[in-house]
Amino acid sequence: MTAKPKLAVFKFASCDGCQLSLLSCEDELLTIAGAVEIAYFLEARTQQLEGPYDIGLVEGSITTAEDAERIHEIRRQCKFLVTIGACATAGGIQALKNWANVDDFIAQVYARPEYISTLATSTPISDHVAVDFELRGCPINKQQLLELIAAFLRGARPRTPSYAVCVECKRNLTVCVAVAQGIACLGPVTQAGCGAICPAFHRDCFGCYGPKEQPNLVSITTHYITQGSTPESLVRLTRSFNSNAPDFREASDALAAASDDHSQPGAAPCPPIEHSS
Ligand code: SF4
Ligand code: SF4
């Protein structure tokens, strides 16, 4: 009998939500367990089988010196390494510390800051090791996770959309909140995958699936400013779960700079935002 491929799930700085997406595959969980050997998954199984592993799913971002070393060992152990979720692919919400003094945060949050050992930044796994595939979302979509595992088993590349959340709105017949209500929505620049949940409830998309392929942040943010949004509000919109994704980071930095200029007495209105790529 041929041995089943070995699957391992690793956690770094994160909330565990993406790992839970695997356990949330209720109807399909037994099929998954029948197709792969779940060799290492601390959240689900006490038994730990040694590597090497055929497929490694990595959740979470790198925020400590120890983790920056551990990810290299994991890369050596895994034939096919996939990052799951916004933390692992872009640094996550914890990457907001990349714009601040981490010691200030630590002093405000912890009663005994001297026990905390952390890097000044939160970075995606791909900043540290080569990654074979990145699954987006905060948390990831379980159907996309199933597609990923099925694609791996048949030796194919996973098919996940690179188009915008707007396409899902159109498919769902959701009335556009940007057009109908004048709400600044990141749907036009955000990768699809969630089913466009937020606009369906009459609110903006805040980009938890990260930038779509070739987003045009300059165009959309300039448009929202002409519609009355402030650069400050757009900085907050672009700096959330995927703030450290390069396209969102560049846009939010440009907006922050425009916001600073605008706040100077006698300063000109916010200039158009330069796109660096
Ligand atoms: S509501 Fe947002 S995501 Fe939906 S079509 Fe409008 S801009 Fe696009
Ligand atoms: S924020 Fe955007 S990508 Fe995230 S669930 Fe809402 S609509 Fe989907």
Give the span between the Cα atoms of 109 and 75, in whole angstroms. Answer: 33
Ligand 2 near 165 CB (within 6 A): yes
Ligand 2 near 198 CB (within 6 A): yes
Residue in the block written with tokens 């009335």:
175
Q: For 5-28, how does the pLDDT look when each residue is reduced to its tens digit (9 = 90+)? A: 999 999 999 999 999 999 999 889
Ligand 2 near 206 CB (within 6 A): yes
Which of the ligands is closest to the CA of residue 190? 2
Ligand 2 near 94 CB (within 6 A): no
Give the span between the Cα atoms of 94 and 186, in whole angstroms. Answer: 20
Ligand 1 near 220 CB (within 6 A): no
In the chain, the domains with their CATH numbers are 6-154 (3.40.50.700), 165-261 (no CATH)
How remote is the CA of residue 206 from the centroid of ligand 1, in Å? 11
User: Is residue 86 within 8 Å of residue 242, measured between CB atoms?
Assistant: yes
Q: Given ligand 1 and candidates 163, 171, 174, which is best to mutate, with the most ligand atoms within 8 Å of its CB?
A: 174
Give the span between the Cα atoms of 115 and 267, in whole angstroms. Answer: 45
User: Is residue 89 within 8 Å of residue 126, measured between CB atoms?
Assistant: yes
Ligand 1 near 60 CB (within 6 A): no
Return all residues near 265 (Cβ < 8 A) that are at least 6 apart.
Answer: none
Query: Does this model's pTM top 0.85?
Result: yes
Closest CA to 169 of 180, 153, 155, 158: 180
Closest CA to 71 of 123, 29, 25: 123
Mean of all residue pLDDT scores within the chain: 92
Per residue of the chain (277 residues), give pLDDT as tens.
568 999 999 999 999 999 999 999 988 988 998 999 999 999 998 999 999 999 999 999 999 999 999 999 999 999 999 999 999 999 999 999 999 999 998 999 899 999 999 999 999 999 999 999 999 999 999 999 999 999 999 999 999 999 999 999 999 999 999 999 999 999 999 999 999 999 999 999 999 999 999 999 999 999 999 999 999 999 999 999 999 999 999 999 999 998 876 554 433 333 444 444 3
